[in-house]
Amino acid sequence: MKIDIVSVFPEYFEVLNLSLLGKAQTKGLVEVTAHNLRDWTHDVHHSVDDTPVGGGAGMVMKPEVWSECLDELLQLQPATIENTKSMENMEDSADSCDTCDSGNSATVAVPAESGNSEKTDTAQSSAGPVLIFPNPSAPLFTQQDATELSHADHLLFGCGRYEGYDARIPQYYRAQGIDVREYSIGDYVLNGGEVAVSVMLEAITRLLPGFMGNAESIVEESYTGENALLEHRQYTKPAEWRGIKVPDVLLSGNHAKVDRFRRDEALQKTDELRPDLIEALDCTKLDKADRKT
């Protein structure tokens, strides 16, 4: 898997050379490159942001710098978008675009759909690159997204800073036929996309075949599979530590009983801490004993 990351702080991603992701790079499972967005600027200050159109606090990342960078990394020619009726609530975005290069460029129609593509959990390798922007105002990134993206050949992450990036950037690349995703990693606001990209990257790459020493640890963990539950509690030796005993059933050697105990615990824990996950369960996939729990 090829992974490009664009950021104004590419050094932030030096940590990716450590630990399991570092090993995966050495093994050739992934090839990660962090690029500095400022390398695509042309002014003396290497500026990547400007004040928000319509007023307001903070700065917004400029589309021209991003497009030069993304065109190069995605190997696309610059184009101009033609407004269509399907964009009623995105008023005049192309007509009023004073930053677009309209000379020497192709014209493309914009599809009405502008959200993340429908969630699927395909086992096939995704055709073409996937462009991902972390964004606190986007759908939540889930284990299902991580699984889906782990089948892609090329991921390109764009880290926003300040008040975010110009909304025309994802719009434009969708119109070019690129699979563009915007994800939030949680209901809180960070200073930029770098931490969010690290989180998503780790969740995705650890699912790559050959990444983890023990593939089974992925199958059994929380948020995985059709009927995703929080994982049961884990214990190791000794059987008693500081007066606290490991549950007897786990020492019994009876695998059926151990499985039942763990499944019950997972159901109870999920019901207590994440009732939304219980609501989402497919009841037809529960067995009789599950229903008792």
Asked if residue 137 binds ligand ADE (CB under 6 A), the reply is: no
Identify which range of 33-41, 187-195, 202-210, 277-285 contacts ligand ADE by CB under 6 A.
187-195
Tokens read off for 143: 């284990």
Torsion of CA 143, 148, 150, 151, to 10 degrees: 160
Phi and psi torsions of 94, nearest 5°: -80, -40
58: contact with ligand ADE by CB under 6 A: no
Query: What are the residues facing 14 on neighbouring strands?
Result: none
Sketch the per residue contact string, 84 through 123, with ligand ADE: x for CB under 6 A, - otherwise: ----------------------------------------
Q: How far apart (Å, rounded) are the C-alpha atoms in residues 251 and 72?
A: 58
For residue 267, give Cα distances in angstroms to 143, 177, 219, 245, 261.
18, 42, 17, 22, 10
Among 134, 198, 267, 270, binds ligand ADE (CB under 6 A): 134
Q: Does 170 bind ligand ADE (CB under 6 A)?
A: no
Rounded to whole angstroms, how far apart are CA atoms 41 and 48?
Answer: 7
Residues 6+ apart with CB under 8 A from 48: 8, 37, 38, 41, 61, 62, 65, 161
Is 204 labelled a binding residue?
Answer: no
Please check if 189 is assigned to a binding site: yes
Interface residue with ligand ADE among 135, 176, 198, 227 (CB under 6 A) is 135
Residue whose CB is less far from ligand ADE, 4 or 194: 194
Q: What are phi and psi of 119, to 5 degrees?
A: -75, 125
Contact call for residue 139 and ligand ADE (CB under 6 A):
no
Size of site (CB under 6 A) for ligand ADE: 11
Pairing of β 130-134 and β 106-109: unpaired
User: Is 72:176 a contact under the CB 8 Å cutoff?
Assistant: no
Nearer to ligand ADE, 64 or 182 (CB): 182
The span of 57-65, 128-136, 247-255, 283-291 binding ligand ADE (CB under 6 A) equals 128-136
Toward ligand ADE, which CB reaches closer, 186 or 275?
186
The residue nearest ligand ADE at its CB is 134
Q: Which residues are annotated as a binding site for S-adenosyl-L-methionine?
A: 160, 185-190
Give the binding site for ligand ADE (CB under 6 A): 134-136, 184-186, 188-190, 193, 196
